[in-house]
Amino acid sequence: MDTSEGTVIGVFTCEQCDLSSPYTFYGQKPPNTRAIVLLEECYGMRDPFNPEREKFLVLGSKCCLCKKTVCVGTECSIFYTKRFCLPCVREHLEQFPEQIQMELAKKKTAKKM
């Protein structure tokens, strides 16, 4: 195995958008990052776009409500102290602060156009 890559554990696939990529760690602690801690259990890999070896990239995690695996893209999920997939956010929209509600509304109209 390529030393700079870490061992591939499996393939991460977003259940919302189908984006997929191999992942090399799962959890709150990306390897070799000292003080950095993730606030959720994440699927991640070495950042393929950064020449430095220790840089990581979070691909996604599980929605705290429906437990679906989703990517971190804004079309699929948001993080607000926890990970929520967009369908779950919409379902519980009233519990989210106004800023997030507005954001989602904007997204909807943008999509319609």
Partner 1 sequence: MCDKRGDTQEWDWGSPQCRAQLDEVFFRQHDYIQARGAEHAEFWTFFERFQRFKAKKEMAGSREGKARKKGATGAADLGLPKEYDPRYRINVSVRTRDVEDRLEGSRRRTPTGPGSQEIAECRLALLHFLDFTQKQSFGKLVKLRREQRNLPIFQYRDRILDLVRNYPAVVVAGDTGCGKSTQVPQYLMSSGFSHIACTQPRRIACISLAKRVSMESLNQYGSKVGYQIRFETSRTPATKLLFLTEGLLLRQLQQDGQLSRYSVVVVDEVHERHLHCDFLLGVLRSLLSQRTDMRLVLMSATINIALFSSYFGGAPVLQVPGRLFPIQVIYQPIPPEEQASRSEKLDPRPYLRVLQGIDQRYPAEERGDLLLFLSGMAEISTILEACQTYASHTGRWIILPLHSTLSIAQQDKVFDIAPPGVRKCIISTNIAETSVTIDGVRFVADSGKVKEMSFDPKAKMQRLQEFWISRASSEQRKGRAGRTGPGVCYRLYAESDYEAFAPYPVPEIHRVALDSLVLQMKSMGLGDPRSFPFIDPPPASSIQTAITYLKQQGALDTRGELTPIGRLLSQLPVDVVIGKLLVLGSLFNLVEPVLTIAAALSVQSPFLRTAQHNPDCSTARQPLNSDLGDPFTLLNTFNAWVQVKGERGGGSRKWCRRRGLEEQRLYEMANLRRQFKELLKSHGLLEEGGQDRVSAEGRAQRRERLSERQRLHQLHREHQLQEGRRRKVLRLDEGAEGPSSGSDTDTPPSASKDQEGAANSMDIQEVKFKLRHNVSELREAACASADMSSRQTALLRLLLCRGLYPQLALPDEHNATRKDSEQVFHTRNKQGIVIHPTSVFASDPEVLHVPEHESSALGAGKEESSKHQLLAFVTLLETNRPYVSNCVRLPVLQALLLVADSVDSNADCTRLVLDGWVELGMADAEAALKPLSSALTLRAEWERLLQAQLGHAGPASTSGLGFTGPKPARRELDKLREGLVRFLLYTEVNYSLKRLTGLQAQNLYVGPQVGHSELTLPPLFPGMQSEPDPVKGGLRITNYFTYNCLCDSKDLYSECLRTFWSCPHCDLHMPFTPLERMQHEATCRPAEEQQPEEDPDTVKTAASSSLTRLYHCDVCNKSLNLTSTEILRHKRQHLA
Query: Which residues are near partner 1 by CB under 8 A?
Result: 1-5, 19-22, 33-40, 42, 45, 47-55, 57-59, 61, 65, 71-73, 78-83, 92, 94-101
Shortest Å, Cβ 64 to partner 1: 8
Shortest Å, Cβ 50 to partner 1: 7
What distance in Å separates the CA atoms of residue 111 and residue 88, rounded to the nearest whole number? 18
**Which is nearer to partner 1, 41 or 108 (by Cβ)?**
41
Shortest Å, Cβ 80 to partner 1: 5
Cβ neighbours of residue 19 closer than 8 Å, sequence gap 6 or more:
13, 71, 73
Shortest Å, Cβ 112 to partner 1: 21
**Which is nearer to partner 1, 35 or 113 (by Cβ)?**
35
**Which is nearer to partner 1, 9 or 39 (by Cβ)?**
39
Q: Are 29 and 18 in contact (CB under 8 A)?
A: no
What distance in Å separates the CA atoms of residue 111 and residue 72, rounded to the nearest whole number? 19
72 closest CA partner among 64, 81, 62, 101: 62
- CA angle, corner 100, sides to 94 and 102, nearest 5? 90
**Which is nearer to partner 1, 58 or 85 (by Cβ)?**
58
